[in-house]
Amino acid sequence: MAALTSLTLAEASKGLADGEFSAVELTQAHIGALEKARELNAFITETPELALEQARASDERRKQGNVVGPMDGIPIANKDLFCTEGVLTTAASHILDGFKPTYESTVSEKLKSAGSVMLGKTNLDEFAMGSATVTSYYGPTKNPWRGKSDKDLVPGGSSGGSAAAVAAGLCLGATGTDTGGSIRQPASFCGIVGMKPTYGRCSRWGVIAFASSLDQPGPFTRTVSDTAMMLQIMAGHDPKDSTSAPFALPDFAAALTGDIRGMKIGIPKEYRIDGMPDAIEKLWQQGIDWVKDAGADIVDVSLPLTKYALPVYYIIAPAEASSNLARYDGVRYGLRVDGDSLDEMYENTRGEGFGEEVRRRVLIGTYALSAGYYDAYYLKAQQVRKLISEEFSKVFETVDALLTPTAPSAAFAIGEKMDDPIAMYLNDVFTVPSSLAGLPGISVPAGLDENGLPLGMQIIGKAFDEESVLRVAGVMERQANFTAKPEFSAGEAS
């Protein structure tokens, strides 16, 4: 039998059902892998005692014939943006030192109720603001891939800890959040599957907010079928979230028919950007050939407003962050740095508690919302966002899904772009447009670049049509047959 840490979620579920191993044995294997992989800094908080307690409860349910679903006994991790009752929740920020919520986020509660086992809370860019998991107060996360370089590489961000943990075999699945690409881009960098559902498909209740009109929880797994299984549990209407869609859930696993004959796949010409590496251009063409060989019709489409997506995003997201982060003042929870007056205490707490990137975005957002600039920046950005969304809707009148690269490069070295915020922001050039429109997207590992580093292909679908996205992704996964493993892999080591 394969090492327990190298199984897919579906394989582990079957192994548990067949009695090949217990949930405790599966959990212990992953706790051991986690302990050997601390150099990756994928986790902020480990919860081995809680995990073993949950695993024992799962084994008891199985013994009594009361299994609650296919994820009962499956070890997973939660991005440290999801509030978890009684477990330290930091958003990777100094300002939330010591914060242990008295409640559970809806998504993590759904996974817990489905019997999953929480190994811990994963690292991220502070308050999800970043594309490399280097702005965390707890230090950067290392990508388990190194390729031909002899450097520590970023895992992408902001959900880099979750992506690295799944890629390295430290858990079988993990939660992430995607605001402008924070699930899809790290999935591409780490050679795994990552999905951003339609905005409103998964509840945001209990998820620490960055940009409320953009944030959306989603899963990281090693296969598309595992993603469908995990999303089935995470998704669903939640009356506690006013933006949660009151729609019945389809059967996501049933969408994986392996048949895309007759589907129309759009190729947006605007995603061919200047300076894009040859490896990504070639892989994109390979992806086009794969879906064409599988019977899909390729349709060239145009999304001319794509060029405005990044500037629009970097007005709207910081503006919403400025509003959302106003609550962190040192009064009610987390860090407090005293001063001679209330105003000085606020200033000291926020100045010391927030990192450089968070302060930068709060300042940008506050400026965009200020009197005299609101109409020129924020209001104008919202108007262009509506036009971008309408442009996608028009294109989806003629195609079933879009196929694009996930990111404009493979993983880069830690520290490489730290001094150039604009270069860092450009990491999201292929993911931000669909985020602004609230559309579902998935990244599937499709190949390696010349340095032996993974590259992902992105499939974007219509709002609330995750089924088409998953169907195309399943075919892409089969055609790509991506079997490469990172240099650091718990599955290989055990």
Instruction: Please confirm, yes or no, whether 485 is among the known catalytic residues.
Output: no
Percent with pLDDT over 90 in the chain: 93
- Residue 389: inside a domain, yes or no? no
Owner of token pair 């800094």: 41
- Residue 281: inside a domain, yes or no? no
**Could you tell me the pLDDT band of residue 492, with boundaries at 50, 70 and 90?**
low
Per the CB < 8 A criterion, the answer to whether 80 and 123 are in contact is yes
Residue 420, pLDDT > 90, answer: no
CA distance 140 to 339: 31
User: What CATH number did the domain enclosing 455 receive?
Assistant: 3.90.1300.10
Give the tens place of pLDDT for each residue, 10-31.
Answer: 999 999 999 999 999 999 999 9
Predicted local confidence at residue 1, as pLDDT: 42
- Residue 369: inside a domain, yes or no? no
Q: For the beta carbon of residue 386, count every other beta carbon within 10 angstroms.
A: 12
Give the tens place of pLDDT for each residue, 324-364.
Answer: 999 999 998 899 999 999 999 999 999 999 999 999 999 99
Predicted local confidence at residue 14, as pLDDT: 97
Per the CB < 8 A criterion, the answer to whether 75 and 26 are in contact is yes
Give the tens place of pLDDT for each residue, 360-370.
Answer: 999 999 999 99
CA distance 48 to 399: 47
Per the CB < 8 A criterion, the answer to whether 262 and 297 are in contact is yes
Mean pLDDT of 240-261: 97
What average pLDDT does the structure give for the chain? 95
Mean pLDDT of 420-431: 80
Give the tens place of pLDDT for each residue, 196-223.
Answer: 999 999 999 999 999 999 999 999 999 9
Per the CB < 8 A criterion, the answer to whether 460 and 140 are in contact is no
- Residue 367: inside a domain, yes or no? no
Instruction: Please confirm, yes or no, whether 182 is among the known catalytic residues.
Output: yes
Instruction: Please confirm, yes or no, whether 79 is among the known catalytic residues.
Output: yes
Which residues, 6 or more positions from 427, have their beta carbon under 8 angstroms from its beta carbon? 131, 132, 156, 181, 185, 407, 408, 409
* Number of domains the chain contains: 1
Range with lowest mean pLDDT among 147-151, 308-312, 377-381, 473-477: 147-151
- Residue 219: inside a domain, yes or no? yes
Half-sphere exposure of 304 (CA within 13 A, CB side): 0
Note the helical H segments in 46-101.
48-64
Give the tens place of pLDDT for each residue, 170-206.
Answer: 999 999 999 999 999 999 999 999 999 999 999 999 9
**Could you tell me the pLDDT band of residue 491, with boundaries at 50, 70 and 90?**
low
Predicted local confidence at residue 376, as pLDDT: 92
- Residue 204: inside a domain, yes or no? yes
CA distance 135 to 156: 11
Residue 494, pLDDT > 60, answer: no
- Residue 77: inside a domain, yes or no? yes
* 405 DSSP β-pair partners: 457
Predicted local confidence at residue 2, as pLDDT: 56
- Residue 322: inside a domain, yes or no? no
**Could you tell me the pLDDT band of residue 427, with boundaries at 50, 70 and 90?**
confident
Q: How much is the pTM?
A: 0.96
Which residues, 6 or more positions from 282, have their beta carbon under 8 angstroms from its beta carbon? none
- Residue 70 belongs to domain spanning: 7-264+398-493
* 217 DSSP β-pair partners: 177
Q: One of 158, 162, 322, 489 is an active-site residue; which one?
A: 158
Percent with pLDDT over 70 in the chain: 98
Q: What angle do CA 102, 104, 107 make, to 5 degrees?
A: 165
The dihedral built from the CA positions of residue 10, 16, 17 and 19, taken in this order, carries a sign that is positive
**Could you tell me the pLDDT band of residue 276, with boundaries at 50, 70 and 90?**
confident
Predicted local confidence at residue 350, as pLDDT: 95
Q: One of 93, 159, 182, 244 is an active-site residue; which one?
A: 182
Q: One of 22, 58, 79, 244 is an active-site residue; which one?
A: 79
